[in-house]
Chains A and B, each alone.
Chain A
Amino acid sequence: MCDTCGCGQPNDEVTIRKPGDEKHHEHKHTHEHEHEQDHEHEHEYQSHSHERTIELQTDILQKNNLIAERNRGYFEAKNIFVLNMVSSPGSGKTSLLERTIKELGNKINFFVIEGDQQTMNDANRIKAVGAPVVQINTGNGCHLDANMISRAVKELDAENNSVMMIENVGNLICPSLFDLGEAKRVVIISTTEGDDKPIKYPTMFASSHLCIINKTDLLPYVDFDIEKTKQYALQVNHHLEFIQLSVKTGEGMKVWYDWLRNSMKNK
């Protein structure tokens, strides 16, 4: 296990802020586990013991799932269509959001939540193309969770009848377990990655609705077999849809826009 990423460790610090807010406005992540030191005395007054087993069958992620459902209810009430965009680092998530906002921003209200371990870079890029954005810096954490989204959404104050795109931390493993309350999960893979990614990281592909294959402009130069990728991905999840595109040249972007508009209507 990697020891640099104890995501959610009691002393890690998550910050949520808007571009330009760099100095003030820091929300320190306070942790529920802090009180756990004083258990022993809390319970010492009980002198005799009754050993017993309690059957729980409790989902370990129930807290996250509860908050995710709460987020989902909020989004549905405000008719906000929410996408959770996941991928390895550098697949082109932010580029896809930038181009989409530039080309569709006059017809659809976009709001963006950016998740990265460090820096405001991606939020600044989104702000530059004119969409309201909040940056979540997870510190050591390698995924967003529903609680971070709940807090970020309060900062963002998205309008009714809009689209919210959440760019998750670049990581194909951890984000797969954490429902954020999204309507659809979109996994992005680029042609500079291995075409066996879907079977190397099956949990992510199994939990996604749409797979975008980006950087098709590079296909002549790389050893990437699109059909093989699709085949692998379908083995993991036979409901998965695919769109291949190049954010750089714009090839295939229309298919993505059509998917977006259709999914907004039919959600």
Chain B
Amino acid sequence: MHEMSIALNIIDIAHEEALRANAKKINEIEIEIGTISGVEISALEFSLDIAVKNTFLENAQRKIIPVQAKAECLECNSIFSLTTFYEPCPNCQSLTINILQGKELRIKSINID
């Protein structure tokens, strides 16, 4: 699954940022994953468990924060949460919607020493 690529990218970025900040170690990393990003959090956790061995992130606490997907209805302008890409507007049932958030794949922060 692509979650392994995602895990390796996370490790690379955290590594670079930690070096840039002259960090001795990374205590914690906060990662934001959109609920419709296409990345499964459980699969990502699993990949990270394997991939962090012998890296800067090996002993870091991981916080993976899901970002709830939200959309705006282009017919009636209501804003609503959704669990899939293709939910009708709960207000007017329109399917013409614009996704506002939920596709995030982001490292929010690292806490370092």
B8 near A58 with CB under 8 A, answer no
Contact mask for chain A residues 237-256; partner B; CB cutoff 8 A; 1 contact, 0 none: 11000000000000000000
B23 to chain A, nearest CB (A): 7
Residue of A5, A46, A58, A64 with highest tally of chain B CB at under 10 A: A58
Q: Closest chain A residue to B98 by CB distance?
A: A238
Q: A6-B47, A49-B113 are in contact. Are A62 and B13 (CB under 8 A)?
A: yes
| Total interface residues in chain A, CB < 8 Å | 52
On chain A, the residues within 8 Å of B6 by CB distance are 60-61, 177
Q: What does DSSP make chain A's interface, helix, strand, loop or mixed?
A: mixed
A54-B17 contact, Cβ under 8 Å, with A1-B1, A176-B38: yes
Whether A236 pairs with B13 at a CB distance below 8 angstroms is no
A93 contacts B by Cβ under 8 Å: no
**A69 smallest CB distance to B (angstroms):** 16
- Report the separation of the CA atoms of residues A52 and B86 in the bound assembly, to the nearest whole angstrom: 41
Asked whether B95 is an interface residue with its Cβ less than 8 Å from the other chain, the reply is yes
Residues from chain A with Cβ under 8 Å of B28 in the complex: 53
Tell whether, in the assembled complex, residue A142 and residue B24 are in contact, meaning their CB atoms are under 8 Å apart. Answer: no
Asked whether A202 is an interface residue with its Cβ less than 8 Å from the other chain, the reply is yes
Q: How far is the CB of A84 from chain B (nearest CB, A)?
A: 15
- Contact status B110-A7, CB under 8 Å: no
Considering the chains assembled together, what is the distance between the CA atoms of A46 and B113 in angstroms? Answer: 10
Q: Which of A32, A63, A236 contacts B86 (CB 8 A)?
A: A236
In the complex, how many angstroms separate the beta carbon of A17 from the nearest chain B beta carbon?
22
Q: Assuming A60-B106, A177-B38, A235-B95, is B113 touching A36 (CB within 8 A)?
A: no
Interface residues of B in 18-41 (CB under 8 A from A): 21-25, 27-28, 31, 36-40
Contact with B along A213-229 (1 / 0, CB 8 A): 00000000000000000
Within 8 A of B (CB), among A29-77: 32-33, 36-37, 39, 43-44, 46, 49-64
Interface contact B106-A57, CB-CB below 8 Å? yes
Contact B86 A235 (CB under 8 A): yes
Q: Given contacts A39-B55, A199-B84, A234-B95, is CB(A1)–CB(B3) below 8 Å?
A: yes
* Interface check A232, CB cutoff 8 A: yes
Residues of B within 8 A of A53 (CB): 28, 109-112
CB-based contact B11/A36 at 8 Å = yes
Check A55 against B108 for contact (C-beta < 8 Å).
Answer: yes
Q: Are A63 and B12 in contact (CB under 8 A)?
A: yes
Question: Is A206 at the interface (CB under 8 A from chain B)?
Answer: yes
Whether A50 pairs with B107 at a CB distance below 8 angstroms is no
Q: Decide: A50 and B47 in contact? CB cutoff 8 A.
A: no
- A187, B96: Cα distance in complex, Å: 21
| Interface pair A60/B105, CB less than 8 Å apart | yes
B86-A1 in contact (CB<8A) = no
Cross-chain contact A142 with B1 (CB below 8 angstroms): yes
Of all A-B residue pairs in the complex, the 3 with the closest CB atoms, nearest first, are: A235-B86, A202-B85, A174-B2
Told that A6-B47, A59-B105, A61-B6 touch, could you supply 9 new A-B pairs with CB distance under 8 A? A1-B46, A36-B11, A54-B110, A56-B109, A141-B5, A174-B2, A177-B2, A235-B85, A236-B85
A-B contact pairs, 25 of them (CB 8 A): A1-B40, A2-B1, A9-B4, A33-B8, A33-B11, A33-B12, A39-B15, A44-B24, A49-B113, A50-B113, A53-B111, A53-B112, A54-B110, A58-B13, A59-B106, A60-B13, A60-B107, A176-B38, A202-B86, A203-B38, A205-B85, A206-B85, A232-B86, A236-B85, A238-B96
